[in-house]
Amino acid sequence: MKNLLLFSLLAIVTSIIGCSTSKTLPLKPPKHGGVYVVAHRGAHLNIPENTIPAYQKAIDLGVDFVEIDVRMTKDHHFVSCHNQDANQYTVGDTPEKISEMTLAEVRSLDVGSRIGPQWAGTQIPTFEEILDLVKGKCGIYLDLKNAPVAPLIEMIKERGMENDVIWYAYSDSDFIDIKKICPECIIMPDPGPEKNLSGLIEKFHPDVIASTWEYLSASFVKTCHKANAIVIVDDDGPKTWDDILKWGTDGIQTNEPEKLIARLEKR
């Protein structure tokens, strides 16, 4: 009788929890304090950004996602590099844009010496390298800079990582293409000002919505949660974390993931 009563109570609680939202978020739960930690361009304090060492450091810290910036080379390969001009990362002048260089030319660049001699020879990584590095360890916040989505989705599907990648893009057409090719893929549109939020929710019904500190507010987060979407925000440094957390924001993209994790562990 006691076991039957316990089972009945458990069923009731499970039913109540299940009715709290109309859909289940297809993401792993956050690792620290109930908030997703996104390492912007990897953990790049004194490490070349958007590189394998920066992503490995982020993994070692225990982040939920690494943010990558995907661009396509002249010969249709995919790499992670935030700026289109390669000379932002090298010592000396490299006038070509990533899109005007072959993969071999991109890989010949030394993007580490500018940070310090210990990083000499560090290369811009390929999308495939990053997928293989993070698989089973953390997710990817994919910032689509300049690349077609179909081949990226193919690489993601080959590794069974559809639910490990959240897609940030700059045009509605990219999101439409993503969902058409891969309905199970997770898009993360950004409405900008809050006045655009309701229209975005109506159009895409997303599981995840992106924002920046400039536009985030308690009402922004509340509206997203009412629509069964979580919010991941780009912070403006540790000074913004208290308000971000107070408003119930679900994830923070930051340049200081180690400090953020320490802050969340104290909650």
Q: Specify if 174 maps to a domain.
A: yes
- Asked if 92 and 207 sit in the same domain, the reply is no
Q: Give 143's strand partners.
A: 69, 168
Which run of H or of E encompasses 140? strand 139-146
Number of domains in the chain: 2
Query: What pLDDT was estimated at residue 141?
Result: 98
- Asked if 108 and 199 sit in the same domain, the reply is no
- Where b means 16+ CB within 10 Å and e means fewer, 8-32 reads eeeeeeeeeeeeeeeeeeebeebbb
- Asked if 156 and 226 sit in the same domain, the reply is no
- Asked if 154 and 210 sit in the same domain, the reply is no
Q: Quick one: CA dihedral 267, 41, 28, 248, positive or negative?
A: positive
What tens-digit pLDDT sequence spans the chain (267 residues)?
444 444 344 333 333 333 333 457 889 999 999 999 999 999 999 999 999 999 999 999 999 999 999 999 999 999 999 999 988 888 876 668 999 999 999 999 999 999 999 999 999 999 999 999 999 999 999 999 999 999 999 999 999 999 999 999 999 999 999 999 999 999 999 999 999 999 999 999 999 999 999 999 999 999 999 999 999 999 999 999 999 999 999 999 999 999 999 999 998
pTM of the full structure: 0.90
- Asked if 139 and 194 sit in the same domain, the reply is no
Query: What pLDDT was estimated at residue 93?
Result: 66
- Where b means 16+ CB within 10 Å and e means fewer, 196-233 reads ebeebbeebebbbbbbebebbeeebbebbbebbbbbbb
Q: Give 212's strand partners.
A: 234
- Asked if 170 and 44 sit in the same domain, the reply is yes
Q: Specify if 260 maps to a domain.
A: yes
Q: Specify if 12 maps to a domain.
A: no
Which run of H or of E encompasses 129? helix 127-134
Q: Where among 155, 179, 203 does a domain terminate? A: 179
- Asked if 159 and 260 sit in the same domain, the reply is no
**Which CATH number does the domain housing residue 65 bear?**
3.20.20.190
Q: Specify if 4 maps to a domain.
A: no
Q: Do residues 220 and 192 lie in contact, with contact meaning Cβ atoms separated by under 8 Å?
A: no
Q: Specify if 17 maps to a domain.
A: no
- Asked if 199 and 174 sit in the same domain, the reply is no
Query: What pLDDT was estimated at residue 9?
Result: 40
CA 20 – CA 9 distance, rounded (Å): 17
Query: What pLDDT was estimated at residue 20?
Result: 34
Q: Do residues 51 and 123 lie in contact, with contact meaning Cβ atoms separated by under 8 Å?
A: yes
**Which CATH number does the domain housing residue 194 bear?**
3.40.50.2300
The domain of 85 spans: 36-179
- Asked if 103 and 140 sit in the same domain, the reply is yes
CA 40 – CA 50 distance, rounded (Å): 9
Q: At what angle do helices 197-204 and 218-226 cross, to 10 degrees?
A: 20
CA 189 – CA 167 distance, rounded (Å): 8
Q: Specify if 15 maps to a domain.
A: no
Query: What pLDDT was estimated at residue 89?
Result: 87
Q: Specify if 259 maps to a domain.
A: yes
- Asked if 157 and 231 sit in the same domain, the reply is no
Q: Specify if 159 maps to a domain.
A: yes
Query: What pLDDT was estimated at residue 246?
Result: 98
- Asked if 210 and 244 sit in the same domain, the reply is yes
CA 109 to chain centre: 25
Q: Where among 179, 198, 229 does a domain terminate? A: 179
**The token pair that represents 232 in the structure block:** 């991941």
Q: Which residue matches tokens 């953020």?
A: 260
- Asked if 168 and 194 sit in the same domain, the reply is no
**The token pair that represents 246 in the structure block:** 């107070």
Q: Where among 179, 201, 232 does a domain terminate? A: 179
Which run of H or of E encompasses 79? strand 78-80
